[in-house]
Structure 1
Amino acid sequence: MNYQIITQSEQLETVCLQARDTDIVMLDTEFVRTRTFYPQLGLIQLYDGQTLSLIDPTTIEDMSAFEQLLKDTSVLKVLHACGEDLEVFQNSFGCLPYPMVDTQVMAAFLGHGLSTGFASLVESYLSVELDKSESRTDWLARPLSTKQLEYAAADVYYLYPLFEKLEQQVTEAGWWEAAQQESDLLAAKRVKNVDPDQAYLDIKGAWQLKPSELAILKPLATWRYKEAIRRDLALNFVFKENDLLTVARLGIKNRQRMEQEGIDPRSVGRHSARIISIVKAAKNIPAEEYPAKIERLMDMPSYKQLFKKLKDEVKHASQSSGLATEFLASKKQLNQLISWVWKKDRDPSRLPDLMQGWRLELLGEKLNKMI
């Protein structure tokens, strides 16, 4: 397994132009995400079937040649379990690899579990046992050891023959177009435009609060989200979610009470003044401007019976198609469909997963009629 380390813009341009002359490239990234809001890119692996390059984005000043490769529509990019890699590309380069297919998705169309790991598939299809001991390494540290570099290189070196075997089987089974659609859906979900004013809806337990308490939680969650982005810090390192709920539920307006309630002392020391001012302002919001109480689907009448009926239909579709039930329609996807009908009046501009792509004909239309 020969690889070259790319540390300069000129080298990068050469390997990217070479890669763009091929039909297919293998891609992977190594990154670190412990305390930061955004993943920190440490290494990019690129393999075009001939040349395997380990690209060091921490030293290369001009990455535009790589961006052009990502956007080159004549080259299919192959990744495995690409969710976080896509986030890395979006945050680092402002674009996603396109067109793209995910080998984990391809494997799911062949009856493998939805989250089957790369090493497991390589062992199954290529009879090669990969060393995964470096998966938790610090990819921002320099210099990278030979063991780290070999681990990173293996992720794209074996991806090529794995993809070829999966592609043949997926095509023979008639799922190739569906695998591409599913990969596109994964990509679309990774490019979310989050509205900071709606951040409170993502807080677990927010449904338990009254409208008057939500009026406090809403601006607190907006502040925390903006602060996390500003400081590139994970949300819970700005202010813990449970602490945010405690402040909103109790309407805490002084530092001493925060300490009494066991709120993280570092967060109190840094942010108490800001939080107190937000709570005081929220307390002055008139009742008619409170956010509506969050109504959970599972608390709505007839939800349980409907969900069971839909789940039974998914089992039938699983038996006839050979695809895993969780892959066909996860609990989240079934809830998304019910919510689309009950709360969004079947808005055609906000189609749920089950009402688009390969799932529509296989399952979605039938489930929609059942609801």
Structure 2
Amino acid sequence: MEYQIVTELAELESVCSKARESDVVMLDTEFVRIRTFYPKLGLIQLYDGEQLSLIDPLTISDFTPFIELLKDTSVLKVLHACGEDLEVFVNSFGCMPFPMVDTQIMAAFLGHGLSTGFAALVDEYLGVELDKSESRADWVARPLTDKQLDYAAADVYYLWPLYFKLFAQVEAKDWWDAAQQESDLLMQKRGKTPNPEKAYLEIKGAWQLKRKQLAILKPLATWRMNEALKRDLALNFVIKEQELWSIARYALKKPKQMEEEGVDPRAIRRHGERIAAIVKHAQQLPEDEHPDKIERLMDFPGYKQVFKKLKDEVKKAAQHSGLATEFLASKKQLNQYLSWIWKYDRDPARLPDVMQGWRLELFGQNLDKIMD
């Protein structure tokens, strides 16, 4: 397994120019995401079947050649379990690799569980045991060790033969179009920009709060997300979610009250005044400006019975197709479908996953018959 380390713009131009002559290339990234909101890119792996390159993003400032490769629609980019990689590309380069297919998704169309790891697939399909001991390494530290570089290179070196083995089987089972649709859906989801105004809806236990408490939680959650985005800090490193909920629940304005309710003293010192100002302002809002109470799906009449019927229909489709039930429709996806019907009056702009593409053909129409 030979590879070159790319640290100069001229080298990047040469590598990307050659890669664009291929119909398909393998891509991967190594990153660190501990305290930051966005993943910190440490290394990019690129393999076109002949030339394997490890691109150092810490030494190159102009990534135009690589961005042009990402956007080149004549070259299929192959990645594995690439949800976070897509976030890396968007944050670092302002775009995603297109067209793209994810080999974890391809494997799911062959009956594997949706979260099947790369090493497990390489072992099964290629008979090679990969050393994954460097998966938690610090990829933004320099210099990178030989072991780290070998580990990173292996991720795209073995992705090449794995992709072609999976492709042959996926195409033989007539799932190739569906695998591309599912990869596109993953890109859509990962490409969504965070909406600070709706951040309060994601706070665990927000449904328990009354409207006047939500009136406090909403601007607090918006402030926290804006602060996280501005400082590139993980949300819970601004202030923990549960602490935010407590502040809204009890309308905490004084540092002593906050501390008594378990808010981290460091967060109080750093943000106490700002939080108090937000709480006071929220308390002055007229009632007609308070957010609506959050309705949980499970509180709708007949939810359990309806959900069970939908789940049974998905199980039938799983038996018929040979695909894993959780891959066809997770609990979250079935709830998304029920929300679409019960909360959003089948709004075409909010089309749920099960009413699109291959899922619609396989079982989505049957779900609609149950709901009708």
Q: TM-score, normalised by structure 2?
A: 0.99
Aligned match of 1:24: 24
Question: 1:67-82, aligned counterparts within 5 Å?
Answer: 67-82=67-82
Aligned match of 1:147: 147
Query: 3-state DSSP class of the match of 2:182?
Result: helix
Q: Which amino acid aligns with 2:299?
A: D
Task: Report runs of 4+ in structure 1 exceeding 3 Å deviation.
Answer: none
Give the Cα separation in 2 of the matches to 1:48 and 1:258: 56
- Write out per-residue CA displacement over residues 247-296 of structure 1, whole angstroms, 9 at most, x where no aligned residue: 00000111111111121111001000000000000010111111111000
1:168 aligns with 2:168: yes
Bigger mean CA deviation after superposition, 340-349 or 19-28: 340-349
Query: 3-state DSSP class of the match of 1:25?
Result: strand
Give the Cα separation in 2 of the matches to 1:346 and 1:165: 40
Give the Cα separation in 2 of the matches to 1:124 and 1:299: 44
Q: Which amino acid aligns with 1:314?
A: V
Aligned match of 2:220: 220
Per-residue deviation at 1:194?
2.6
Aligned match of 1:362: 362
1:347 aligns with 2:347: yes
Query: 3-state DSSP class of the match of 2:186?
Result: helix
Give the Cα separation in 2 of the matches to 1:342 and 1:366: 17
Q: Which blocks of at least 5 consecutive residues in structure 1 are unaligned?
A: none
Per-residue deviation at 1:193?
2.6
Aligned match of 2:299: 299
Aligned match of 1:201: 201
1:98 aligns with 2:109: no
Q: Which amino acid aligns with 1:174?
A: D
Give the Cα separation in 2 of the matches to 1:11 and 1:90: 23
Query: 3-state DSSP class of the match of 1:74?
Result: coil
Q: Which amino acid aligns with 2:257?
A: R
Aligned match of 2:83: 83
1:285 aligns with 2:285: yes
Question: 1:107-126, aligned counterparts within 5 Å?
Answer: 107-126=107-126
Give the Cα separation in 2 of the matches to 1:289 and 1:349: 26
Question: 1:257-336, aligned counterparts within 5 Å?
Answer: 257-336=257-336
Aligned match of 2:64: 64
Give the Cα separation in 2 of the matches to 1:200 and 1:96: 28
Q: Which amino acid aligns with 2:274?
A: R
Per-residue deviation at 1:350?
1.3
Q: Which amino acid aligns with 1:4?
A: Q
1:3 aligns with 2:6: no
Give the Cα separation in 1 of the matches to 2:256 and 2:316: 58
Give the Cα separation in 2 of the matches to 1:220 and 1:135: 35
Give the Cα separation in 2 of the matches to 1:340 and 1:193: 21
Q: Which amino acid aligns with 1:324?
A: A
Query: 3-state DSSP class of the match of 2:132?
Result: coil
Q: Which amino acid aligns with 2:62?
A: D
- Write out per-residue CA displacement over residues 90-123 of structure 1, whole angstroms, 9 at most, x where no aligned residue: 1000000000000000000000111000000000
Give the Cα separation in 2 of the matches to 1:229 and 1:44: 24
Query: 3-state DSSP class of the match of 1:41?
Result: strand
Aligned match of 1:229: 229
Per-residue deviation at 1:369?
2.2
Query: 3-state DSSP class of the match of 1:77?
Result: strand
Q: Which amino acid aligns with 1:272?
A: G
Query: 3-state DSSP class of the match of 1:37?
Result: coil
Aligned match of 1:156: 156
Give the Cα separation in 2 of the matches to 1:253 and 1:314: 49
- Write out per-residue CA displacement over residues 188-244 of structure 1, whole angstroms, 9 at most, x where no aligned residue: 000113321111001111001010100000000000000001111000000100000
Question: 1:182-201, aligned counterparts within 5 Å?
Answer: 182-201=182-201
Q: Which amino acid aligns with 2:312?
A: D
Per-residue deviation at 1:32?
0.5
Per-residue deviation at 1:366?
1.1
Q: TM-score, normalised by structure 1?
A: 0.99
Question: What is the RMSD computed on CA atoms of the aligned residues?
Answer: 0.6
Per-residue deviation at 1:370?
1.2
Question: 1:16-55, aligned counterparts within 5 Å?
Answer: 16-55=16-55
